[in-house]
Chains A and B, each alone.
Chain A
Amino acid sequence: MAIVSMTVNGKPVTADIDPRTLLVQFLREHLRLTGTHVGCDTSQCGACVVHMNGAAVKACTVLALQADGGDVVTIEGLANGAELHPMQAAFREHHGLQCGYCTPGMIMTAVDMANRLGPDLSEETIRSELEGNICRCTGYHNIVRAVESGARAMAGQPMREAAE
């Protein structure tokens, strides 16, 4: 067993874990933060994306021990209390989710994308940047609209309403 300590969604956590525990298992099973999902086990689908030390990582491919001393943010830590993060609000406004299973990873990837590339994301950029996130429900059409709109809203620009 091994001791691991990190900050998750602003709170310090320490646990004694099997060294082979993956970060996603640590979050889901030890901390019961089940918003981070597992879709493929092979680092392909992106349902497990969280932020570690400010960057998007696939939590199914990171050992919990690798996050020791680090700062982890999950989908549960994104909203400011009852106030949704602009990217969360954009996914709802643009119907960027159906079954909701890939959604936490999509949103965490999208926030990271906007953090890195700024508020003006072209459709081509968004589609290319979503290479590591698979959605089986939406055909990505509305996810692209949501990311575009959410990135703008993150920069303080008003959220564009979905066309009807």
Chain B
Amino acid sequence: MTGTGIGAPVRRKEDQRFITGQGRYTDDLARPGQTHAAFVRSPHAHARIRSIDTSAASAMPGVVAILTGDDLAADKIGGLICGWMIHSKDGTPMKAGPHPALAQGKVRYVGDHVAVVIAETFAQARDAAERVEVDYEPLAAVVDTAKAKGAGAVVHDEAPDNLVYEWHLGEKDATEAAFARAAHVTRLDITNNRLIPNPIETRAAIGEYDAGTGGYTLWTTSQNPHVARLVLSAFIGIAPEHQLRVIAPDVGGGFGSKIFIYAEETVCVWAAKKVGRPVKWTSDRTEAFLADAHGRDHVTHAELAVDENAKIIGLRVHTTANLGAYLSTFSSSVPTYLYAPLLSGQYDIPAIYAEVDGVYTNTAPVDAYRGAGRPEATYVVERLVEVTARQLGMDPAKFRKKNYIKRFPHQTPVIMNYDVGDYAASLEKAMEIADVKGFGKRKRESAKRGKLRGLGYSSYIEACGIAPSQAVGSLGAGVGLWESAEVRVNPTGSIEVLTGSHSHGQGHETTFAQLVSDRLGVSIDTVNIVHGDTDKVQFGMGTYGSRSGAVGMSAITKAIDKVIAKGKKVAAYALEASEGDIEFADGRFKVAGTDRSLAFGEVALQAYVAHKFSGQDLEPGLKEGAFYDPTNFTFPAGVHICEVEIDPDTGITKIERFTAVDDFGVVINPMIVEGQVHGGIAQGVGQALMEGAIYDESGQLVTASYQDYQMPRAGDLPSFQVGMTSTPCPSNPLGIKGCGEAGAIAAPPAVINAVTDAIGHEEIAMPATPQAVWRAVQRARPAMAAE
């Protein structure tokens, strides 16, 4: 199957509908008799609700119903949940306050959902929502991450110091001993700026109730519809699992923000029964800024110890992570188990100790955003490593190479067991593509024009293929993280693959079909990938954490193997041979050592007509399912190099070159993989130079539109130079590591290391906007913060 198998840059099957305007996103759907919902949201960051008066709003034209938190409570609808239990270092469980889908007694951030107005048209719902009168008693708000602990304002009574947990990982004593004998210690105070994910499709939902069957349907913008159904059923209590169908049709990007089970979607499906009609809600962009889960927002003090030979001997961090006003679905795990286990980076570091305080503030909930914890870890490690090399007067590439892990498997002091890698190979290839040798000349040329040029490296590693269920269960996860697949072969030999993964831009309809084409020797055009509907796919954990290839496709592989095994039995009867003599290759079942064979499609037909075998000996049909639970995380790694030129008069940073060399193991479709890298880099560059969610002291979100929150645009970015190396992953049958988050993880430190190289000191925080860079350039070069 040349041209469509594993490794081929097959053009995407799903594109036809997207380029002709035939995609079907949630907001494109209209259900018969549907009503429209608009949410009344808190204008205050923190306030007690004295009363809600809906009388004027109820009299507005077209209003069908107005529902509040009291109605939720009366129906015994549970609150939103956080699905990962974190224990503090003293052994106590995290302190989680309630998270009602409509506020009950108190609001805790600007945009918090207070009531919902349901009307005949969207305009009428909005008009009426403005007439709902809420009497608030404003309270003091806590906004700043670093000042949240023990602040006067208390977000939840359950956490009187605003501390959700004080967690730690690693070996404290061994780390302290390493620092005590260090020849050099680098210390950095690092802020990882708060980001707003901003998929271009905003969230949307349609809830529908069928009074005849008692069943509910929720169409929603979800990365994991089965998890949504499980949470809405088992925890929130909307409907029993078998009576709730969740459909995530075409979804316009997620980047993590559509993993979570939010208030608005919950309310739509609950309200559908109350009003007896479908209820539709589509977020506008301002609501997306206010109420989608945000990302990052860490304040960290980090230290790196090296011995007299420039060998890293210890690393320690103290991080305060802002979790926002409520614990979102996976929020607790992001700054803990998705963060600290990556603090070894690509380096052999014998002692690591991390402390993380998770804090409540009066800001939007913070949860996973592309990379989720791993970008924060990589930023800490790669800034420390870069600054250490500079302080030691060593070439940053040489310092990295010296400290790279070179023997595998490698057990780090922070949980992870790296299976395979060749970090120096990626570094060397990246340096070659980036023409690091020519940098000095380019820097001198820039200087002649009065410009500052800088070069920055980032050696990143991430843990993907999330995740071995037993392992994450022991760390507090509320779910297993395997994946399911079902391969249904039709009598004509065409194939449907049902997967628990969900595509929202990743191209699964193409890459998954490539795998089937490759393994079964059938045309890619006869393979249909089915996902995103709980009535079709039995169960699945969805798509995030670069897991769909390593975990989702491994499940498909397992099911395909079963199909081949069954096909051999069928072929043995049809070819009148013994099963042990049947071989399968190039799409044909063949009797070994003979020219007798049947095509895959012929065997499929035989399986369904069942004329050649007795039903007592073999079940008819050709359909197999599999659940695949990974045995380890996967460890994509690579080196990104950024070269910038800064205009000291304007502070504008121009990215002159951006080179990425990644080791994703086996690549199914290089065109799609490169596209994932491009997109990740853009988000990483956005974090480094442009993006930042800003709340003022009172808790108002200042950056709540595209005029105020700078999204990377085409003119802000260069074309990227992308290369690859490959050490196949040994822990899954395909050798895949995952590629979805690499760019967003690797890019921020590469960019900031380049900016600091250009300006000659380390005193700049993300986002390095023109104003920030201009100020940094103007400032006298400060003394290096070193011992």
Q: A42-B285, A42-B707, A137-B505 are in contact. Are A101 and B200 (CB under 8 A)?
A: yes
Contact B21 A136, beta carbon cutoff 8 Å: no
Asked if A44 lies at the interface with its beta carbon under 8 angstroms from chain B, I say yes
Contact A143 B714, beta carbon cutoff 8 Å: yes
CB-contacts of B2-22 with A (<8 A) = 9, 11-12, 14-22
CB-CB < 8 A to B558: which residues of A?
none
Asked if B682 lies at the interface with its beta carbon under 8 angstroms from chain A, I say yes
Q: A20-B123, A47-B200, A131-B713 are in contact. Are A97 and B18 (CB under 8 A)?
A: yes
Q: Smallest CB–CB gap between B532 and chain A, Å?
A: 13
Contact B20 A76, beta carbon cutoff 8 Å: yes
Asked if A107 lies at the interface with its beta carbon under 8 angstroms from chain B, I say yes
CB-contacts of A34-85 with B (<8 A) = 34-42, 44-45, 47, 74-76, 78-79, 84
* Interface residues contributed by chain A, number (CB under 8 Å): 59
Contact A44 B707, beta carbon cutoff 8 Å: yes
Q: Smallest CB–CB gap between B402 and chain A, Å?
A: 32
A160 to B422, CA, bound (A): 36
CB-CB < 8 A to A114: which residues of B?
none
Per-position binary interface string of chain A over residues 19-45, scored 1 when its CB falls under 8 Å from any chain B CB and 0 otherwise: 010000000110011111111111011
CB contact between B715 and one of A35, A75, A130 (< 8 Å): that residue:
A130
Asked if B600 lies at the interface with its beta carbon under 8 angstroms from chain A, I say no
CB-CB < 8 A to B706: which residues of A?
40, 42, 44-45, 134
Contact count band on B? 35 or more
CB contact between B671 and one of A20, A40, A95, A137 (< 8 Å): that residue:
A95
CB-CB < 8 A to B713: which residues of A?
130-131, 133-134, 140
Asked if B202 lies at the interface with its beta carbon under 8 angstroms from chain A, I say yes
A162 to B21, CA, bound (A): 23
CB contact between B255 and one of A47, A88, A136 (< 8 Å): that residue:
A136
Q: Smallest CB–CB gap between B284 and chain A, Å?
A: 5
Per-position binary interface string of chain A over residues 117-160, scored 1 when its CB falls under 8 Å from any chain B CB and 0 otherwise: 00000010011101101111111111110000000000000000
Asked if A99 lies at the interface with its beta carbon under 8 angstroms from chain B, I say yes
Q: A99-B252, A99-B504 are in contact. Are A92 and B11 (CB under 8 A)?
A: yes
Contact B715 A127, beta carbon cutoff 8 Å: yes
Identity of the chain B residue whose Cβ is nearest the Cβ of A130 in the assembled complex: B714
Most buried by A among B19, B672, B679: B19
CB contact between B505 and one of A39, A98, A141 (< 8 Å): that residue:
A98
Q: Smallest CB–CB gap between B421 and chain A, Å?
A: 25
Q: Smallest CB–CB gap between B60 and chain A, Å?
A: 15
The majority secondary structure among interface residues of chain B is loop
Asked if B683 lies at the interface with its beta carbon under 8 angstroms from chain A, I say yes
A130 to B505, CA, bound (A): 21
CB contact between A37 and one of B25, B507, B682 (< 8 Å): that residue:
B25
Asked if A12 lies at the interface with its beta carbon under 8 angstroms from chain B, I say no
Contact A100 B18, beta carbon cutoff 8 Å: yes
Q: Smallest CB–CB gap between A20 and chain B, Å?
A: 7
Asked if B719 lies at the interface with its beta carbon under 8 angstroms from chain A, I say yes
CB-contacts of B630-674 with A (<8 A) = 670-672, 674
Contact B199 A101, beta carbon cutoff 8 Å: yes
A75 to B680, CA, bound (A): 27
CB-CB < 8 A to A91: which residues of B?
15, 19
Contact A41 B21, beta carbon cutoff 8 Å: no
CB-CB < 8 A to A128: which residues of B?
714-715
Q: Smallest CB–CB gap between A95 and chain B, Å?
A: 5
Asked if B681 lies at the interface with its beta carbon under 8 angstroms from chain A, I say yes
CB-CB < 8 A to A39: which residues of B?
200-202, 285
Q: A37-B25, A131-B715 are in contact. Are A136 and B18 (CB under 8 A)?
A: no
Sample 16 A-B pairs with CB under 8 A, ordered by A number. Answer: A34-B25, A40-B706, A44-B705, A78-B20, A88-B20, A92-B15, A95-B671, A97-B15, A98-B679, A100-B18, A135-B200, A136-B253, A139-B679, A139-B680, A140-B678, A140-B682
- Nearest first, the 10 A-B pairs at minimum CB distance are A35-B21, A101-B252, A100-B18, A99-B505, A139-B682, A75-B21, A98-B505, A44-B706, A139-B678, A34-B28
